[in-house]
């Protein structure tokens, strides 16, 4: 580092017309350098950086890796960023609008003699500020001394509010008691600008709208209405738009959380088992599947498949803890297992007997009207969408049967669709139920019923 350039890199020094030399400091990162830098053949590299405005000592080191020499770590070096006269602000990270807090400005003097300083807070429309103590025109600050000036501040505006405090070493002949005041040809002025996050009062409420746009080379408009609550806090409304060129959106940015080793009881195991199938299918069809991801996901599927068989009953059904604990098979979980095992067949070996056993057990639960009887218990209601009624269960099982896939002409499917068609005509179905019905009708090509259900969901 070139310490001769320290003053320039530390801050913006502005000579004011007929006034003091002002230093403006506003760059205060919590951490500074964290870069990947290629080195040349002799193992060195130059990196130009701007020193932050923080008065502190920075410590830095570097490490490198090489296929020839392995791992290397440099000694720690230090860089002192300093000026002999400066002001430092103390303020919270965030406050609620209307909440009062104390803003403290501490002035430090490391010059060789006493100086007289004035301290001021720049006025702003964004806050009210009053001195905590009676303000003085100037203060005596002797060698290695410090002085703290405080204001009671109440923010008025939301967002990031700037606070600008200046400490000026005055060019004056006034003494500091018996001490001689430093005679400055020009005064020095240190100005610090820091931001405070001002958050709205009240409770945050967020509404998210999602749309699937297929532009196909053309403009694809999507009108929407943003209606604010009647009691919205003034100035707190915010709207954000993000566009992702992937139908799975942000889910693929968190791939490691979707690909997990299945474990636990019959419910937990399946909840972790199923996402591995969907990730494999999607990445494969979009040409994004790497060998590493494929190998990991298939390994998880094999393990999850073997684990789930521990929870199978002699009659082909599945329960949370299996037959050892005297539980009866659960219809929701058995349908989930049937659907997932059928979909996993394209990735791993699934014995056909397990699929047929589950199918036969579910068929035995079908009533004369085509709907399915509920059986057994679940620990986690999230598996059934938080809804527990005959129509929702029947729609879920029908989807599982269609994704095996069974043909529409299959007697169990045909009777199940009759149940769903009758249920779709009734009012008062839960949102989750209508979503399942719409998906089931989409799978069998009943476009009119699918559209009617989707329209009701849009409302």
Range with the poorest average pLDDT among 183-187, 205-209, 396-400: 183-187
Structural domain of residue 410, as residue ranges?
A: 256-458
Q: What are phi and psi of 122, to 5 degrees?
A: -65, 130
| Residues 192, 43 share a domain | no
Portion of the chain with pLDDT greater than 70, in percent: 92
Domain assignment present for 362: yes
DSSP string, 97-143: TT--EEEEEEEEE-SSSBEEEEEEE---TTEEEEESS---S-EEE-T
pLDDT in tens, 12-70: 445 545 567 888 999 888 888 888 888 888 878 888 888 898 888 999 888 888 888 78
As a whole number of angstroms, the distance between CA 138 and CA 151 comes to: 16
Q: Is residue 208 part of a domain?
A: no
Q: Which residues contact 394 (CB under 8 A, 6 or more apart)?
A: 370, 371, 372, 416, 419, 420, 423
Confidence of residue 8 (pLDDT cuts 50, 70, 90): very low
CA-angle at 43, arms to 38 and 45, nearest 5°: 50
pLDDT at 349 over 50: yes
Domain identity same for 70 and 118:
no
Q: What is the CATH number of the domain that holds 159?
A: 2.60.40.10
Q: What percent of the chain has pLDDT over 90?
A: 51
Q: What three-state secondary structure class fits 13?
A: strand
Q: How far is 318 from 306, CA to CA, in rounded Å?
A: 13
CA distance readout (Å), 119 to 18, 107, 191, 283, 435 = 19, 8, 10, 61, 64
Task: Lowest mean pLDDT of 98-102, 344-348, 394-398, 429-433, name the range.
Answer: 429-433
So what's the pLDDT on residue 405?
Answer: 93
Domain membership of residue 305 (yes or no) is yes
Q: Give the residue from 18, 49, 81 where a domain finishes.
A: 81
Which tens digit of pLDDT belongs to each residue from 99-149? 999 999 999 988 888 888 899 999 999 999 999 988 778 888 888 889 999
Are 325 and 379 found together in one domain?
yes
**Same domain, residue pair 301 and 172:** no
Residue 313 has pLDDT above 50, yes or no: yes
Element (H, E) at 384: none
CATH number for the domain that contains residue 48: 2.20.130.20
Q: Is the pTM of this model over 0.75?
A: no
pLDDT in tens, 390-423: 999 999 999 999 999 999 999 999 999 999 999 9
Q: Do 311 and 194 share a structural domain? A: no
- The neighbouring-strand residues paired with 154 are 128
Phi, psi for 208 (deg, rounded to 5): -115, 135
pLDDT at 400: 96
Angle, alpha carbons 445-448-451 (nearest 5°): 100
**Does residue 356 sit in the same domain as residue 446?**
yes
Where a domain ends, among 81, 100, 119?
81
């Amino acid at each position: 580092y070139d310490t001769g350039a320290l003053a320039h890199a530390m801050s913006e020094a502005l000579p004011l017309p007929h006034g003091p030399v002002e230093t403006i400091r506003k760059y205060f990162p919590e951490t500074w350098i964290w870069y990947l830098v290629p080195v040349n053949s002799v193992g060195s590299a130059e990196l130009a950086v701007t020193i932050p405005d923080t008065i502190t000592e920075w410590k830095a080191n570097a490490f490198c890796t090489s296929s020839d020499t392995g791992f290397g770590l440099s000694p720690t070096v230090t860089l002192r960023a300093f000026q002999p006269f400066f002001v430092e602000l103390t303020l919270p990270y965030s406050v609620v609008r209307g909440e009062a807090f104390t803003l403290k400005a501490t002035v430090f003097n490391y010059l060789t003699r006493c100086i007289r300083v004035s301290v001021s807070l720049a006025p702003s429309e964004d806050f009210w500020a009053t001195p905590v103590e009676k303000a003085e025109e100037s203060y005596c600050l002797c060698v290695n001394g410090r002085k703290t000036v405080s204001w009671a501040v109440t923010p008025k505006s939301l967002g990031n509010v700037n606070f600008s405090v200046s400490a000026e070493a005055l060019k004056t002949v006034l003494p500091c008691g018996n001490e001689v005041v430093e005679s400055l040809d020009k005064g020095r002025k240190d100005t610090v600008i820091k931001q405070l996050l001002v958050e709205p009062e009240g409770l945050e409420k967020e509404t998210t709208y999602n749309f699937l746009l297929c532009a196909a080379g053309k403009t694809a408009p999507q009108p929407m209405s943003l209606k604010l609550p009647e009691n919205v806090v003034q100035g707190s409304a915010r709207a954000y738009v993000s566009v992702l060129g992937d139908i799975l959106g942000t889910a693929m940015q968190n791939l490691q959380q979707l690909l997990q080793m299945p474990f636990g009881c019959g419910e937990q195991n399946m909840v972790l088992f199923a996402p591995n199938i969907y990730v494999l299918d999607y990445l494969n069809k979009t040409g994004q599947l790497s060998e590493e991801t494929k190998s990991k996901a298939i390994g998880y599927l094999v393990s999850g498949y073997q684990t789930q068989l521990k929870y199978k009953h002699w009659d082909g059904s599945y329960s949370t803890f299996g037959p050892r604990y005297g539980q009866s098979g659960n219809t929701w979980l058995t349908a989930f297992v049937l659907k997932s095992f059928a979909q996993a067949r394209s990735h791993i070996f699934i014995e056909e007997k397990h699929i047929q056993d589950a199918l036969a057990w579910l068929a035995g639960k079908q009533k004369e009207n085509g709907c399915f009887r509920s059986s057994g218990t679940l620990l986690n209601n999230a598996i059934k969408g938080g809804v527990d009624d005959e129509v929702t269960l029947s729609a879920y099982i029908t989807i599982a049967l269609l994704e095996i896939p069974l043909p529409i002409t299959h007697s169990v499917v045909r009777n199940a669709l009759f149940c769903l068609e009758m249920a779709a005509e009734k009012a008062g179905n839960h949102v989750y139920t209508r979503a399942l019905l719409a998906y089931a009708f989409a799978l069998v090509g009943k476009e009119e019923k699918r559209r009617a259900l989707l329209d009701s969901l849009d409302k």
